[in-house]
């Protein structure tokens, strides 16, 4: 049997949509380099999403490799209502009112149907419309009516988005639509759920209460309030996403690169997967090659140590979806093959809790380097041991062995892991023998090589990492008849 293994440590997330909805297209995207498929719950119905899930699982079975599915919830999208003539022109300095009146809008006022927003507004609050193209400043508040001065004017048309960057809005992170979408996503057994417009750690906690461990929770960082409460959000979430679209609307654009680096560094320090998303190869929606700036953007995220980089419209509606994945794959592999790749902040000492698990994992990285081991083998039942191994960003591949295919799928988004579902172990002898067999079988060691093994004892104990062992691979371990099932 041919073993499929990525030669790249950084993972690729691709959004599915009209340009990538058939089994053949999903098969081609996976072959090009996709590790995680994103379902954008803002578009399409559940029947369409179920077909995508079935197609992904078909490709997974064909390739015998775990593939993660990420369901991205829409969240509370704020929009103005409609105008008499479809649009108006707002002039700088004029007064424009947002209210709760259901009449069609004019150049003097328009309905803002989200009553919760008015409670969070106060004089001086900035309101951004249409992705920040229009900027208002609140002058007075009277109940559900906010009189504003136009700071930056222009054309404003029906149902454009609303952002309030400097306020924590009294809105739940999940709408009624999100709850229905989440119920569906859990029924079809997605692996990750992305929570949009997170403002505080409580938003993550509420989602996790509903999900109850049936999927991992990824908090999308796209609001200044989330950046301010980043440490608490990372602590509660299973992973985070740098969602640069709305983040770039609510934060000054020049702040976004620094915020991105901070989020990646903090997530790495916590050992939580971090995805960099939005407009990475935007020009490839309609062009067969990206801009040089886009290539540099992807390379920067890879160099910073992000677990994954993501394609949105490029793969969902683009004319060159497969080519976009191929470009992302080539750029990531090129950066990772740079001689100084692991010195671009990758080896920066992470602050760690004083636990034996962290000490063992850190030692495994150093031991692998010192003895010239070809790979680190990590046994995990919950994924915690594998996450610790990836957090260290070692210079050798990480072979992750788990008895749970659910965990194997979830780990598909994590930097550097080649995860295999295999029978659990019960003794040290089984641990050593299985490590050598699997390293040989998956091309992560050859006869005469060493491998470094980490595991938790008693075996199968979730979260424990207290075993470190160096094994020499003789080369005859594959004589056994063991299967990976």
Kindly name the residue from 38, 391, 410, 437 that is annotated as catalytic: 38
Q: Which of the residues 51, 79, 147, 441 is marked catalytic?
A: 79
Using alpha carbons, select from 158, 156, 154 the residue that is nearest to residue 86. 158
Which of 10, 97, 278, 465 is an active site residue? 278
Alpha-helical regions (H) of 212-311: 224-228, 230-236, 244-250, 256-270, 292-304
Q: Which of 6, 11, 160, 220 is catalytic?
A: 220
Determine whether 38 is an active site residue: yes
Residue 79 annotated to the active site: yes
For 354-384, give one letter per residue: b (16+ CB within 10 A) or e. Answer: eeebbebbbebbebbeeeebbbbbbbbbbbb
Which candidate, 336, 353, 352, places its Cα nearest to that of 344?
336
The pairs formed by 348-357 with CB atoms below 8 angstroms and a separation of 24 or more are: 348/265, 350/268, 350/269, 350/391, 350/392, 351/269, 356/465, 356/466, 357/384, 357/385, 357/388, 357/456, 357/463, 357/464, 357/465, 357/466
- Does the annotation mark 423 as catalytic? no
- Residue 100 designated active-site: no
Give the position of tokens 């990836």. 390
Residues paired with residue 40 on neighbouring β-strands, in sequence order: 72
Q: Tokens in use for 92?
A: 């700088």
Catalytic (active-site) positions: 38, 79, 220, 278
């Amino acid at each position: 049997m041919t073993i499929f293994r990525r030669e790249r440590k950084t993972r690729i997330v691709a959004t599915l949509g009209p340009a990538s909805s058939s089994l053949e297209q999903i098969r081609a995207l996976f072959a090009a380099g996709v590790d995680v498929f994103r379902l954008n719950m803002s578009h399409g119905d559940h029947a369409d999403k179920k077909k995508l899930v079935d197609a992904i699982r078909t490709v997974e079975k064909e390739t015998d490799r775990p593939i993660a599915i990420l369901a991205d919830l829409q969240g509370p999208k704020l929009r103005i209502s409609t105008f008499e003539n479809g649009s108006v022109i707002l002039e700088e300095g004029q007064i424009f009112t947002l209210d709760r009146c259901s009449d069609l809008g004019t150049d003097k006022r328009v309905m803002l149907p989200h009553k919760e927003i008015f409670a969070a507004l106060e004089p001086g609050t900035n309101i951004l419309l249409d992705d920040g193209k229009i900027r208002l400043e609140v002058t007075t508040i009277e109940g559900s009516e906010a009189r504003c001065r136009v700071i930056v004017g222009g054309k404003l048309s029906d149902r454009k988005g609303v952002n309030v960057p400097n306020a924590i809005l009294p809105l739940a992170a999940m709408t009624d639509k999100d709850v229905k979408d989440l119920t569906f996503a859990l029924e079809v057994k997605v692996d990750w759920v992305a929570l949009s417009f997170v403002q505080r750690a409580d938003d993550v906690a509420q989602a996790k209460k509903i999900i109850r461990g049936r999927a991992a929770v990824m908090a999308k960082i796209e609001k200044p309030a989330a950046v301010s409460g980043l440490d608490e959000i990372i602590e509660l979430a299973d992973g985070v996403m740098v969602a640069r679209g709305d983040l770039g609307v609510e934060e000054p654009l020049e702040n976004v690169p620094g915020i991105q680096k901070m989020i990646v560094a903090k997530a790495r320090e916590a050992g939580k997967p971090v995805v960099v998303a939005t407009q990475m190869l935007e020009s490839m929606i309609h062009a067969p090659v990206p801009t040089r700036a886009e290539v540099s953007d992807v390379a920067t995220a890879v160099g910073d140590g992000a677990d994954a980089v993501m394609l949105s419209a490029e793969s969902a509606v683009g004319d060159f979806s497969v080519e976009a994945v191929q470009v992302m794959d080539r750029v990531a592999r090129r950066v990772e093959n740079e001689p100084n790749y692991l010195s671009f902040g990758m080896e920066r000492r992470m602050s760690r809790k004083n636990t034996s698990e962290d000490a063992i994992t850190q030692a495994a990285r150093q031991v692998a380097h010192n003895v010239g081991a070809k790979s680190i083998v990590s046994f995990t039942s919950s994924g915690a041991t594998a996450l610790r191994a990836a957090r260290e960003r070692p210079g050798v591949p990480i072979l992750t062995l788990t008895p749970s295919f659910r965990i194997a799928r979830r780990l598909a988004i994590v930097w550097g892991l080649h995860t295999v579902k295999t029978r659990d172990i019960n003794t040290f002898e089984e641990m050593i023998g299985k490590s050598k067999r699997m390293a040989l079988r998956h091309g992560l060691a050859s006869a005469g090589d060493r491998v470094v093994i980490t595991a938790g004892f008693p075996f199968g104990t979730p979260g424990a990492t207290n075993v470190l062992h160096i094994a020499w691979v003789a080369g005859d371990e594959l004589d056994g008849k063991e299967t990976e099932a």
